[in-house]
Structure 1
C-alpha cells in the first residue's frame, strides 16, 4: 500500500512550529512524526499533501518513494503520533475522532482526487468523507492538537523508543559514571567525558552518533541527545528531554524538545518547552513552566488565548528567534519565527513572528535583515539558507501579520 501524509487545517494550532515545516516533521522522543509513520504504518511513503509554499521543501526533507501505480493508498494526518504497529485502514474506511480525520484508505483508482486543497479545507473534506465508513483509530494512533501535546508525550515516547541500552560503541572516559548501564546507549563516535553522570535509573538514555557529553554534565533518563549535539560542562538534562541534531546545550533543561540546530549554551532554566531550529537563547534566559497558583496554563496560540488544561508548559519558540541576556519568559510563553526578545522588562505571553521586542516596545523586524542574519547563523553550522527557504520566510513574514494579528494589538 502507498502511504501519503497530509496537513489539515490543524497545522495552525501548531504554530509557530509549523510555519517552516509540515506537522509530520515535528519531533517527539528520538525522531520525527514522519519517521514513526514509516516504522509503524508503512515504509512506502509516496506523497505529502501540504501548503503550496512549503510542499517542495518539506518533501525534500522527509524523502518520498516512488508510488506503486496499482496499489491502494492510505492518507495519514501529518499530526498523528503513531506509537505501535498498525494495519492501515482499508479502502473505504476512515479513522476519525470528533476533532479530525486521522487516516483514510483510498482505492488506487481514486488517487487523483487526493490533493492538498482537499485536506486543508474542512468543509470540502467533510463532504468527501461522507462516502467512507467511519471507525475510531486503533490503539497507538494519537492526534497532536497543540505543541504541548508533544512536550507531554515526550518522556513516555523516549521510554518506548530507547530500547538499545547496553550498547556502548562510543568513547567513555574513565571517571564518567553510568548508572544502570544496561539502559544506556552510546553510539559510534559519541564521547562521554570524565565526571559526566548518565543516570538511567528512571528511564533510558540514548547518546547518538558523534554527540559529546562534556565533563560534569548530568543526564537523567529518559533522555535523548541527537547526532553531533554538544552538552556543555555542568549542564543538567532532566527526564523527558530530547535534543535534535547539532544542538549546543548548557544550564538546566527539563522535559523539553529541541527540534535541532539550536543553542542554549549558558546557565538558565528551560522546562517543558519546545524549541525550533536556529534558535539562540542568551545567557541566563529563564522560563517559568509552573504558575504560582499551581493552576492550568493559558497559552496564546497565534495571539489568542487557549486553555491548555496543563499545569506545566514553559516556552514555545519558533525558528530563527533569539533572546537576550537575562530574558525572563512567562509561563506558557510563545515566540514566533525570526523574532528578537531583548528586554529587561516583562515579556508578553505572545511575541509575534518577525518582531523586535526591546525596552522601548514591540516593532516589526525588517525581513531583509532577518534573512541576512539567518544566512550567517546557518553558515556557522555548515548549512545554507537556500533560495526556496528564503522565499518561504518572506511568505511567513506576510502571512503571520494576518494569522498572528492579535499579537500586534
Structure 2
C-alpha cells in the first residue's frame, strides 16, 4: 500500500519554505509531515506537488491521497482508514483526504461522496505555525517513535531531571543537564551533546546532529538531521543539514535546509513596542498580520548570513539569500539577494550554484541536475520580488 500527499493552497502561503519542497516535506515536531503519515499507516509515500518539484518529489501509484499540510492524529487516522473508494473526507472547505482508484486532483471532487470530519486537527498554512505547533507535534512524534522501544543510557556525567527522555542508538552526551519536566527530550541516532549544555524539553535532536559546548536550548525546539548548533535557541525548528554553530540567539524561528548562521548573529523575536508581528506575504507582495507578539526569523533553504548579523522581528529571508554587513537588513530579504542594510544586489545564479556544489560536497552529497533544475526554476520565478 502507498499514499500520496497533495499540496493545497497552503503551498503558496508557506513560501519561501515551500519553494524547494512540497508542504508535506516540512518538518514540525521530530518528523516531516510525510514521515508522520508513513509511520502511522506503515506505507510508502509520494507527493502531488508543483510540476518543477515533481522530478524530485514524485507521485506514487496509490488510491489514497492525503492533504500534505495536515498532521496526523488517532481520530484522523481512523476517519481516513475508513474511507471507501470514491469518498472524500472534508472539514468545511478543507479537503483532508480522498480515496480514488484513478489519480484525481483534489480540486476536482464533485464526483466523490463527501464525508464530513467534525473534530479538530493541526494544519500548517503559514511559516510561523511551524514553531507555533512544534511542541504539540514533538510530543506526538515522541510517543510515536518511542512506543515499545527501550532507551539507551546516557553517561553518568549528565544530570537528568525527570525521566521523559529517549536516547537512540549511538547518541552521546557528557557533562550536560536535561530537564524533561516541561516536555520530552529525544536524542536521535548518532547525535551528540557536547560538554556543558543545558537543555529543556520539549526538545528533539535528530540523527547525526550535534549541540556544541555550552549551548542553552529552551523548549519547543527541533534540530533536524545532519545539523550543528550552539549558542542560545528557543522555540525554533531547523529542517536539517543546517548550521548555527556559534554564540548568538535564535528564537521563535524556522530555518530550512542548507542554511548557515554566522557567529554572534541574533534575531529579535519581540518588537520594542510589543506590537503584533507581521510577515512578508509572497502573494500579496506586502506584510501579513500574524496575530503573534513573538515571531523571529523565517529562513528558506540555502540562505546564509555572515558574522554579527542582526535580524529584525519578523524577518523573512528567501531561498539563497546571502546577508552580511552592519545594521538591520530589511524585514523581507528576497530570494537570491546579496547584501544587507547597505543595500542588495542579485546573487548571480552561476555563483550560487558554484557555492552550493561545494556545500554539498562537504556533506558527501551531489548537486545533481534535478536539484540544479529546481534552483534555476526558483531563481526565474522569484525575479519579481527583487526590486533592487
Contact 2:65/2:98 (8 A) holds in 1? yes
> CA 1:250–1:2 in 2, change beyond 3 Å: closer, same or farther?
closer
Deviation at 1:56, TM superposition (A): 2.0
Residue equivalent to 2:7: 7
Residue equivalent to 2:97: 103
Deviation at 1:99, TM superposition (A): 5.3
Contact 2:2/2:61 (8 A) holds in 1? no
Q: What aligned pairs does 1:8-407 form with structure 2 within 5 A after superposition?
A: 8-40=8-40, 42-45=41-44, 47-59=46-58, 67=62, 73-84=63-74, 85-88=77-80, 89-98=83-92, 100-106=94-100, 108=101, 111-112=102-103, 114=104, 118-119=105-106, 125=107, 128-137=108-117, 139=119, 141-163=121-143, 164=146, 167-169=150-152, 172-180=154-162, 182-194=163-175, 196-302=176-282, 303-402=285-384, 405=385
SS at match of 1:294: coil
Deviation at 1:288, TM superposition (A): 1.1
> CA 1:99–1:286 in 2, change beyond 3 Å: closer, same or farther?
farther
Contact 2:47/2:60 (8 A) holds in 1? no
- The Cα offsets for residues 255-303 of structure 1, whole Å up to 9 and x where unpaired, read as 1100001000111110111100110001111111122232321111224
Structure with bigger helix share is 1
> CA 1:377–1:151 in 2, change beyond 3 Å: closer, same or farther?
same
> CA 1:201–1:286 in 2, change beyond 3 Å: closer, same or farther?
same
Distance 1:322 1:280 in 2: 5
Contact 1:92/1:104 (8 A) holds in 2? yes
Distance 1:7 1:90 in 2: 22
SS at match of 2:373: helix
SS at match of 1:290: coil
Deviation at 1:130, TM superposition (A): 2.8
Q: Structure 1-normalised TM-score?
A: 0.87
Structure 2 unpaired stretches of 5+:
none
SS at match of 1:274: strand
- The Cα offsets for residues 88-116 of structure 1, whole Å up to 9 and x where unpaired, read as 1333433334553222232x2xx04x2xx
Distance 2:3 2:118 in 1: 17
Distance 1:282 1:167 in 2: 38
Q: Structure 2-normalised TM-score?
A: 0.91
Distance 1:268 1:212 in 2: 20
SS at match of 2:330: coil
Deviation at 1:377, TM superposition (A): 1.1
> CA 1:96–1:296 in 2, change beyond 3 Å: closer, same or farther?
farther
